[in-house]
Amino acid sequence: NAGVTQTPKFQVLKTGQSMTLQCAQDMNHNSMYWYRQDPGMGLRLIYYSASEGTTDKGEVPNGYNVSRLNKREFSLRLESAAPSQTSVYFCASSEFGSTGELFFGEGSRLTVL
């Protein structure tokens, strides 16, 4: 039972390079989310997809784009990486609505030099 799977787990980029973080869930959840975690800042929402076919900005969307490829997959793209995007990125999924808990992937540690 895989749950939420993120790839890659680690990545080092140079400033200006681009990359895509992949996320897939096998729980048939409608909603998916991308967060970033920085020391002392907790988790901050980058983008979310409440249901297949929709995406919306969260608290810190600048410098990122997302694609909800299908119900299972939700990718996060950095078009031109900056050192400020050095962080740990978490993908999560849940049933749509107020009561569903979020299930998290294991995280992707990104370093931008």
Partner 1 sequence: AQSVSQHNHHVILSEAASLELGCNYSYGGTVNLFWYVQYPGQHLQLLLKYFSGDPLVKGIKGFEAEFIKSKFSFNLRKPSVQWSDTAEYFCAVKSRHSGYALNFGKGTSLLVTP
When the beta carbons of 17 and 61 are compared against partner 1, the nearer one is: 61
Q: How far is CA 67 from CA 1, 21, 42, 52, in A?
A: 24, 10, 24, 10
**What residues numbered 49-78 form the site for partner 1, per CB under 8 A?**
49-50, 56, 58-59
According to the binding rule CB under 8 A, does residue 31 interact with partner 1? yes
# residues near partner 1 by CB under 8 A: 29
DSSP structural state of residue 63: T
Q: Which residues sit at the interface with partner 1, rule CB under 8 A? A: 31, 33, 35, 40-45, 48-50, 56, 58-59, 90, 92, 94, 96-102, 104-107
